[in-house]
Amino acid sequence: MFHSIVQAIRSVYCIRDQFPRYMSELLFQEEQMGALFAVRFRYVIGLALAASAVANLSNTDSLSGFLINFVALGFYFLNTFLHAQILKKSKGHWKTKYDYISLFIDNLLVTITIISWYLLKGEGNPNFLVKSPLVVFYLLPLSLSLFQYRFSLANFSFVCFLISYYGFIIFALMDSQAISGLDWYRYVLGDQIIMADALVTKPAIYLTLVFAVSYAIFRSLRMLLKFAAAESQKTTLSRYFSPDLVSEIVSEPEVIGKGKRQKVTVLFSDIRGFTQFSEPMDPEELSIFLTEFRRRMVRAIFKYKGSLDKFIGDAVMATFGTPSPSETEGEDTKNAVLAANSMLDELMQWNKERIAEGLSEIKIGIGIHTGEVFCGSIGSEERMEYTVIGDTVNTASRIESACKDLSVSFLISEAVWLEIGSPTGWDKKEFVALSGREQKIHLYSPNVA
């Protein structure tokens, strides 16, 4: 059990080791912002302390009493102002170092104030130090560590408290005037002290609060880590899947974790004469061209719930029905055909813009086939890729290649045509021989009005 507790504590305090470098840098920046906010909050604490001092004016019957409270407050506000200036103007790790100095000064001011009131009102009984209500003020520096997500600040504040508090107890034990006993009435309302309670209760409560603060920081950091991982995953997935599918995959990551056989509709697209078209372009111009072309094509694919499988140079491979097929029969295939038409519309609009700028027209070929494939994450531990493989993929690629031979921009297989309801307005290409296949198949292209 002890080992489990140690492991749990270690997992809490070592959570920062799980952060990638870029997140550690962002966290450091957030800590600096948290430090600034903590300094502003120190003014709120200072006002509360000032209110407490004013509330006790009627009980203060000497000049020394006034000085103890208000001089301590003056040093507190001076330290707060100095801390704010260091955070605004200093560079490097000096900002971080002063967080500890400021905490030390806060705890020291509480300690000096308790000792001062003991000398003024303690009447020589060292139990005054241990029983002073000002001991609760040690909790105020601890609260500031919550703003900066740093366990070390909470631990440092706890150590400062322990040194002061047990210093008071040791002083009481060494003094012959200290009255020790087991009478709770005299302990609460009199001058006696129950040593067992004094030694354990307040430090245990403080330690519990330190663990609570530490766990609150841990929870915040773990949530940040999870959110960052989820957003990173969503950013990566959004390059390949439509927004609706990204939400589904993030909520149920197992849908792409394991490979399975399922029916999928595959779309291939390719730019006609791209090699000759791209030869005169310099690398930067070619990069801009491909980026714009891919952006327009992917927009049309995502519009109809398609998934981008990959770019292969100027070619685009998309799938419909991945990672999960539609519950409605034929909907994925219909979406693929609609996406292809949208791609052609996008291209038509782009060509109008290009012609207006004096640039050449772009032509593409699109091929669609539907059938069973294997889909899932494929690759090594270093690099995994979610993709589909199978004869359906090869056939879709060859149908796209046939567009050039048949002088059309869009072809679908007979399986696709039947699945979308055997609509009219399609021109049947009978017994077309596809590269690498012995059996000829029927293809369909939309009639050109």
11 — pLDDT class (breaks 50, 70, 90): low
Say if residue 253's pLDDT is above 60: no
Looking at the structure, tell me whether residues 128 and 36 fall in a common domain: yes
Say if residue 117's pLDDT is above 90: no
Q: What does the pLDDT look like over 17-66, one tens digit per residue?
A: 666 665 666 667 777 777 788 888 889 888 988 888 888 777 777 777 77
DSSP string, 370-429: EEEEEEEEEE-SS-EEEEEESHHHHHHHHHHHHHHHHT-SEEEEHHHHHHTT--SSEEEE
Total number of domains in the chain: 2
Looking at the structure, tell me whether residues 189 and 284 fall in a common domain: no
For the question of whether the overall pTM of this predicted structure is more than 0.85, the answer is no
Domain stops at, among 236, 268, 290 = 236
324 — pLDDT class (breaks 50, 70, 90): confident
Range picked from 2-6, 212-216, 230-234, 414-418 for highest mean pLDDT: 414-418
Looking at the structure, tell me whether residues 164 and 230 fall in a common domain: yes
For 251-256, the CB contacts below 8 A with 24+ separation are: 255/323, 255/324, 256/323, 256/376, 256/377, 256/386
Say if residue 382's pLDDT is above 70: no
Looking at the structure, tell me whether residues 212 and 276 fall in a common domain: no
Range picked from 161-175, 189-203, 264-278, 332-346 for highest mean pLDDT: 332-346
Q: Which pLDDT value is given to residue 246?
A: 57
Domain of 275, in residue numbers: 243-446
Looking at the structure, tell me whether residues 130 and 247 fall in a common domain: no
Could you tell me the two tokens for 86? Answer: 């260091």
380 — pLDDT class (breaks 50, 70, 90): low
Looking at the structure, tell me whether residues 41 and 168 fall in a common domain: yes
Domain stops at, among 212, 236, 260 = 236
Torsion on CA atoms 220, 210, 1, 17, rounded to nearest 10:
40
Q: Which pLDDT value is given to residue 30?
A: 72
Looking at the structure, tell me whether residues 190 and 300 fall in a common domain: no
Domain stops at, among 174, 205, 236 = 236
Looking at the structure, tell me whether residues 5 and 152 fall in a common domain: yes
Mean model confidence pLDDT for the chain = 83
Q: Which pLDDT value is given to residue 264?
A: 94
User: First-to-last CA distance in the chain?
Assistant: 79
Spatial neighbors of 327 by CB under 8 A, at least 6 apart, are none
CA distances from 356 to 93, 352, 353, 361 (A): 57, 6, 5, 10
78 — pLDDT class (breaks 50, 70, 90): very high
Say if residue 358's pLDDT is above 80: yes
Q: Which pLDDT value is given to residue 91?
A: 66
- Report helix, strand or coil for 129: helix
Looking at the structure, tell me whether residues 194 and 226 fall in a common domain: yes
93 — pLDDT class (breaks 50, 70, 90): low
What are residue 445's DSSP bridge partners? 427
Looking at the structure, tell me whether residues 258 and 404 fall in a common domain: yes
Looking at the structure, tell me whether residues 109 and 199 fall in a common domain: yes
Looking at the structure, tell me whether residues 79 and 5 fall in a common domain: yes
265 — pLDDT class (breaks 50, 70, 90): very high
Residue with tokens 């504590």: 9
* CATH number where 377 lies: 3.30.70.1230
d(CA 147, CA 35): 7
